[in-house]
């Protein structure tokens, strides 16, 4: 089984233009993501999919591989699908280009479920939400699953609603980590389907998969990640990376 990871990296991010090139502890953000993905032993190749010559040149400067894609793509899924069309592989891993703390072991967990007897074309990750602040933050996507760990819904809202929550409980729910593993042919198929109402309402691409009736396997991981969405997130990301490098 050949597995290729594709990292979408758009220059013109709405909230943070040029985000993949911003420097974290002496390295561009995209390099942190690329190198973490490369350390995952289950991945055969890593490619950055970008609409920017500057990002492509930066990736190549540290020895990475990058492909230029159309500037018209509206989603990261569309961007990686363009690259995947020319690949010969079984699985495509979509690693978000703004998560410098993604763990290679977490990537492996999401890929490994495809070695089991399966009835799903895509997998993703969830981890515990430990604070009320995260639970209420619309920038942190929540996921609820059934007893077999298939996704029921993803939302920016606080889900589930705790009508009589025990305040002593430590976990509020599950945070979605936006890493996806697709069967290649399914990725090409879903990228061609029109956006759906819930997808547009929540601005969450994965809802398109559910609205068209497909299953998403959600794998629990103990690993936490952190997405850099705004310039204000850089300080926190640097602090977390520094702690990890010191083994704290």
CATH number at residue 83: 3.90.550.10
Instruction: Answer whether 121's CB lies under 8 Å from 212's CB.
Output: no
pLDDT at 218: 98
Pinpoint the alpha helices (H) of the chain.
29-38, 53-61, 76-84, 104-112, 132-136, 184-192, 197-202, 206-211, 233-245
Share of residues in the chain with pLDDT > 70 (%): 96
Instruction: Answer whether 24's CB lies under 8 Å from 100's CB.
Output: yes
Domain hosting 176: range is: 3-245
The residues, ordered by sequence, that sit 6+ positions from 185 with a Cβ below 8 Å of its Cβ are: none
pLDDT exceeds cutoff 90 at 12: no
Least confident of 1-5, 80-84, 207-211, 223-227: 223-227
Helices (H) and strands (E) in the chain, counts: 9, 11
Question: What's the predicted TM-score (pTM) here?
Answer: 0.92
Domain count, the chain: 1
Q: What is the mean pLDDT of the chain?
A: 91
> pLDDT, tens digit, for every residue of 24-49?
899 999 999 999 999 999 999 999 99
């Amino acid at each position: 089984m050949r597995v290729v990871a594709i990292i979408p990296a758009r220059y013109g991010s709405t909230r943070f233009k040029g985000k993949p090139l911003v420097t974290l502890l002496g390295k561009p953000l995209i390099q942190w993501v690329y190198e973490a993905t490369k350390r995952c032993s289950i991945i055969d190749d890593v490619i950055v999919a970008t609409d920017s010559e500057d990002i492509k040149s930066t990736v190549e400067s540290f020895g990475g591989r990058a492909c230029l894609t159309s500037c018209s793509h509206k989603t990261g899924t569309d961007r990686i699908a363009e690259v995947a069309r020319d690949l010969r592989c079984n699985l495509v891993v979509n690693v978000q280009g703004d998560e410098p703390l993604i763990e290679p072991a977490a990537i492996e967990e999401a890929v490994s479920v495809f070695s089991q007897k399966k009835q799903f074309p895509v997998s993703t990750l969830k981890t515990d939400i430990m604070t009320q602040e995260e639970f209420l933050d619309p920038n942190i996507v929540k996921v609820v699953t059934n007893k077999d760990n298939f996704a029921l819904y993803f939302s920016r809202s606080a889900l589930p609603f705790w009508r009589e929550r025990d305040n002593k409980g430590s976990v509020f729910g599950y945070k979605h980590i936006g890493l996806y593993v697709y069967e290649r042919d399914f990725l090409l198929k879903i990228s061609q389907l029109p956006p759906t109402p819930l997808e547009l309402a929540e601005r969450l691409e994965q809802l398109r998969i559910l609205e068209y009736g497909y299953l998403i396997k959600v794998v629990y991981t103990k690993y936490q990640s952190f997405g850099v969405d705004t310039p204000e997130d850089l300080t926190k990301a640097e602090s977390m990376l520094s702690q990890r490098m010191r083994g704290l």
